[in-house]
Amino acid sequence: MSAVAKTAFWGSAALVVYAQAGYPLLLAAVARARRRPEGVPRPTDALEPSVSLIVAAHREADVIAAKVANARALDWPRERLEVIVACDGSPDDTPARARAAGADLVLELPWGGKVRAQDAAVARARGDLLAFSDANALWEPGALRALAARFAEPGVGYVCGQVRFVNDGDGSNQEGLYWRYEMALRALESRLASITAGNGALYAVRREAYLHVDPVMGHDLSFPFNLVKRGWRAVYEPRALATERMVPTIEGEFARKRRMMSHAWPIVLRGGMLSPRGYPPLFALMIVSHRLLRYAAPGLHAIALGANLALVGAGRVYVAALGAQLTVGAAALAGGRWPHRALLVARYYVLTNASIAAGLWDHVRHGTPAGWTPPAGTR
């Protein structure tokens, strides 16, 4: 029994440490060893294909006019940029405000979810390049040019940019810290092969690479690996910038991530991510390390804690390990009352991992609806 507990403890602990710290170090080492020049075109060198910028909107009356104006201000020839707002069953006056703001095409659709609204917009789009954004994400003027430049590289089918989160007040959310870590990983993955996930606020796809996916499976997770399976590259362009308001609190971030994970788990379990077919070897390692082990983290933490409790009398190292785990848990609890940075980081880490398990519970218990609701505090 002791041998089983030791194997469980050290195995789960090693996987958690590898996923969080070992994998970034491995990517950095591989990138250093290869020293491959990226040859990324400068944004000013990009051709100017016709672009359809698609914004799926549900109940976005407060921000849609600003979003359309933001799209109109992009550094791109006016006659080669089509702005489409796909209103997904909006119960407010989002369609009227989008038209008044100057959108080229406003679709009033029955409520079927973000993905189906995007599909409907793509069917009506005239652009050679399909760009997508959220209603509350504001692009920098050069963002579209930076995205488009990457399509000058042969084989690139998907490009996502860099979203910078802003917090208007003194909120407790630590998403910005995590997001900088995530973007560093994404930059390394993009340099070496392809990214394992994108984001919904700032990305573009070649028209011929666009996929129709299950309506519960968002583009940000389902597109990159599916395009890689089809022979395309999915890359990250940090010079394409956008800003988006952050959910103010860690508790709000937990709710947002729980909702996101209820959409992510169908992609993992039945959307093809688990199948290695079509993955180049390095990208397969990235999927396992960055996606599957990240999503397995709540279970790995639970195994490590359970095995550690069984081994607490087996030596000082296990006493120290249990103390460390309990300290993180206590810090996470304390972070709910005292907004010290270290306590908030612990709380963010614990609740982020809890959201992964909660999203799985939601999906298994009652499925995942295709519709979506904007998170409170981000509009």
| Residue bearing the bigger pLDDT, 90 or 323 | 323
Mean pLDDT of 13-21: 96
pLDDT of residue 377: 52
Name the least confident of 83-87, 91-95, 245-249.
Answer: 245-249
Q: Of all residues in the chain, what percent carry a pLDDT higher than 90?
A: 77
Tell me the average pLDDT across 259-265. Answer: 93
pTM score of the predicted model: 0.91
* Pairwise CA distance, residues 102 & 71, whole Å: 10
pLDDT at residue 230 tops 90: yes
Beta bridge partners of 52: 82, 130
Beta strands across the sheet bearing 203-206: 105-109, 81-88, 51-57, 129-133, 203-206, 156-166, 233-245, 137-139
Q: What is the mean pLDDT of residues 182-202?
A: 95
Instruction: Flag whether pLDDT at 263 surpasses 70.
Output: yes
- Residue-wise pLDDT for 157-176, tens only, equals 999 999 988 876 666 666 77
Q: What is the mean pLDDT of residues 117-146?
A: 97
Give the pLDDT score at 129: 97
Q: Which domains does the chain have, with CATH numbers?
A: 43-249 (3.90.550.10)
Residue 108 confidence (pLDDT): 95
Task: Output the pLDDT for position 109.
Answer: 94
Q: Confidence class of residue 248 from pLDDT cuts 50, 70 and 90?
A: confident
CA distance 274 to 267: 9
Residue 42's pLDDT band (cuts 50, 70, 90): low
Average pLDDT, the chain: 91
When pLDDT is averaged across residues 35-52 and rounded to a whole number, the result is: 67
Range list of β-strands (E), 36-110: 51-57, 81-88, 105-109
The whole-angstrom separation of Cα 379 and Cα 375 is: 8
Q: What is the mean pLDDT of residues 214-228?
A: 95
For range 148-154, the mean pLDDT: 94
At 151, list the tokens: 């399509």
What was the pLDDT predicted at 304?
Answer: 96
Q: Are the CB atoms for 353 and 261 separated by under 8 Å?
A: no
pLDDT greater at residue 341 or residue 221:
221
The model's confidence at residue 45, banded by pLDDT at 50, 70 and 90, is: very low
Q: Residue 27: is its pLDDT beyond 90? A: yes
The pLDDT confidence band at residue 20, using thresholds 50, 70 and 90, is very high
Residue 333 is encoded by which pair of tokens?
């609890």
Going 223 to 44 to 241 to 25, the CA torsion angle's sign is: positive
Model confidence pLDDT, tens digit, residues 328-371: 999 999 988 888 888 989 999 999 999 999 999 999 998 888 77
Question: Could you give the CA distance from residue 10 to residue 33 in angstroms, rounded to a whole number?
Answer: 29
- Cβ-proximal residues to 238 (8 Å cutoff; 6+ apart), any chain: 161, 162, 183, 187
CB burial of 239-258 (b: ≥16 within 10 Å; e: otherwise) equals bbbbbbbbbbbbebbbbbbb
Q: What is the average pLDDT across 239-247?
A: 90
- For the stretch 290-325, pLDDT in tens is 999 999 999 999 999 999 999 988 889 999 999 999
Given this model, what pLDDT does residue 370 score? Answer: 74
3-class state of residue 90 by DSSP: coil
As a whole number, mean pLDDT of residues 21-43 equals 79
Q: What is the pLDDT of residue 375?
A: 60
Cross-strand bridge partners of residue 108? 87
pLDDT 10s digits, 264-299: 999 999 999 999 999 999 999 999 999 999 999 999
* CA pair distance 155, 256, nearest whole angstrom: 33
Q: Which residue has the higher pLDDT, 2 or 30?
A: 30
175 or 136, which is more confident?
Answer: 136
Residues of the chain above pLDDT 70, percent: 93
What does the pLDDT read at residue 307? 94
Among 108, 103, 104, 82, smallest CA distance to 93 is for: 108
Please give the Cα distance from 73 to 165 (Å, whole number): 21
